[in-house]
Chain A
Amino acid sequence: MDKTITLLDPTAELEAPDRTLLPRLGSLEGKTIGLLDISKPRGKEFLDEVERQLLALGLDLEIKRYQKPTFTRVAPLQLVQQISVDCDALIEGLAD
């Protein structure tokens, strides 16, 4: 019984992308932290609170705020590049 039937793969044949994490920050001391609002309702309130709590840590850190034009699309390349240049870490307010 060596009968086989060929089926063609309907998927994109993507192997699970082997993405390694960037090195974790040992401390937030002296770092720049980005806060990204994806333009979902009340994202600003959420990130305001995150900012308040970060600053309350009493560390020497800088906060930068960013906003996506719309939550429905991936961030524009220019914004991604800007964040990667500006920040050591990013916190994203993902959904409402």
Chain B
Amino acid sequence: MERTQSKQPNEANQSELSAPSAEFEYALFVKKDCPTCALLEPVFEQLQQNLGPALAIFSQDDASFPSAVSNPIDDTALEHSYKAKIEFVPTLIKRQNGVESGRVYGWDKQQWREFTQFDALAADSSLPEFRPGCGSKTLEPGMEEQLQLRYEQDKLKARKLLANADDDLIETCYEKGWSDGLPVVPPTPIRVLRMLNATECAADEIIGLVPPDRAPCSVEKVAINAVLAGCTPEYFPVVLATVRAALQDPFCMHGLLCTTYFSSPVVIVNGPAARLIGMNSGINALGQGNRANATIGRALQLVIRNVGGGKPGGIDRATLGSPGKYTFCFSEDESEPSWNSLAMDQGFQRNDSVVSLFAGDGVQAVADQRSRTPESLIGTLSRSLRNVCHNKLFLTADALLILCHEHRRIFMEAGWSKQDVKTALFDALRTPGKDIIRGAGGITEGMPESFADKDVDKFRKQGLHILCAGGKAGFFSAIVGGWAASGERGSQLVSQQITMN
């Protein structure tokens, strides 16, 4: 018996409902402060007389209520109410074999009679047929989080570090080396629990090995870093998908982190999720000012830093790096149904929520305010694209071409699809090898001599990705050059579907 009792605390956390006795079939949750509960005292008494020990009555605010029944269970600590996810009082729960099979709440005489299979319930009283209940005490402002902290903290497995409450916790986080240089949000248990609430994934699920240390990364560790980054819980499904994408082998996060080159993950979100969490795909889409854009990209960088151990000057050997290594995350403008989104180019449907990662550098401007024909604009775009990585290095770095609305409109009004644009750019960029080999034009850098007699594409076949973002005004598109080790030998664009709750 003792052994059984000693197991109960653990088991209780797994069960739908814990109670002093596992024998009861009905659980009733009440609150003295609720006028409906007070009104129903005679009903509770009648139920207890009829059901006997098969009914357990939990009182949320006064252990002596209902006074008409014997031995109400003191639930002023709200443990039972919280674990049973009570939203209203009164709530009556039916259990079969220890598992909930149904519940009713508020007061509906006929419904309660059917639910309890007790036709005489409230037969002699003048009780109304119907009376709404009140909110459960567990849902009072701020209460749910306190209860979660009290009763669910055991699902947090991360090492707990105690800080002096008088200390500046932001400075504490700096001292521990958790910051990318900007202040981080101190990862308290309640904040991490809120983050974990935003996913169906188990906190201890390992989502992969994070480079460069190849450290196993749990959902909880992602949540802690999402807190540090300043994410709200509603962003967390997107953050999780982003980290999962970064851990896909074709993305080659290990090499990307180690490289002396500029590149780091550029995060592009497509589909309903981007709109639901209020991401910016419009004015200043690549810039500051939107919390989701800012913190989702940052959360990935902090996972790499803190879980993977990838720190500048350590394994991160970037010569210059890029501001995007703080965060580079935006959503695509999908307002034009005739143009496929980046996610659709990767085989997803328009209604799928998808995050794509590209190993990219900074933003290279393409200004063209005079072109009004696709042909002229292709000329401008191709000349700019030729400079990705190096004017004479072809088939080396991939690129993102982020068309602004004004530029895309020129193509659309001429009836060009995205594929038409891509084909025209490849044609315009194809260059005789003799012009780009090493030494050509008096420049030592260039392609190997073996390309001299070939016509060479600037990008490998899957190496140019076209998407749309930005404000409605301005003839300014952007190129994001890719890593100099793009493609199979290095990094390829990867996509990951987002599971929204």
Contacts and interface: CB of A to CB of B under 8 A. Distances in A.
Contacts of B161: 6-9
Interface in A14-70: 14, 39, 69-70
- Find the residue from A3, A8, A69, A95 having the highest chain B CB count within 10 A: A8
A7 B172 contact: yes
B188 A71 contact: no
Nearest to A2: B165
Nearest to B209: A12
Contact of A10 (B165, B228, B259): B228
A74 B213 contact: no
Given A3-B165, A73-B252, A10 B187 contact: yes
Contacts of A71: 255, 485
Given A5-B188, A72-B485, A14 B173 contact: no
A74 B165 CA distance: 44
Contact of A73 (B169, B255, B302, B307): B255
A12 B159 contact: no
A71 B210 CA distance: 18
Most chain-B Cβ atoms within 10 A of its Cβ — which of A7, A9, A71, A72?
Answer: A7
B160 A4 contact: no
Given A14-B309, A72-B489, A72-B491, A9 B255 contact: no
Contact of B159 (A4, A9, A73): A9
A4 B307 contact: no
B254 A72 contact: yes
Interface in B210-227: 210, 213, 215-217, 220-221, 224-225
Contacts of B166: 1, 3
Interface string B285-302: 000000000000000001
Contacts of B215: 12, 14
B308 interface: yes
Task: Say what secondary structure dominates the interface of chain B.
Answer: mixed
Interface residues of B, number: 45
B163 interface: yes
A10 B224 contact: yes
A78 interface: no
Interface in B102-152: none
A9 B162 CA distance: 10
A82 interface: no
B272 interface: no
Which residue, of A1, A13, A72, has the highest number of chain B Cβ atoms within 10 A?
Answer: A72
Given A3-B165, A3-B166, A8 B213 contact: no
B159 A8 contact: yes
A8 B490 CA distance: 34
A11 interface: yes
28 contacts: A4-B162, A4-B163, A4-B164, A4-B165, A5-B169, A5-B186, A6-B188, A7-B161, A7-B163, A7-B169, A7-B187, A8-B156, A8-B158, A8-B161, A8-B189, A10-B307, A11-B178, A12-B217, A12-B309, A14-B215, A14-B309, A70-B255, A70-B490, A72-B255, A72-B258, A72-B485, A74-B254, A95-B260
Interface of A: 1, 3-14, 39, 69-74, 95
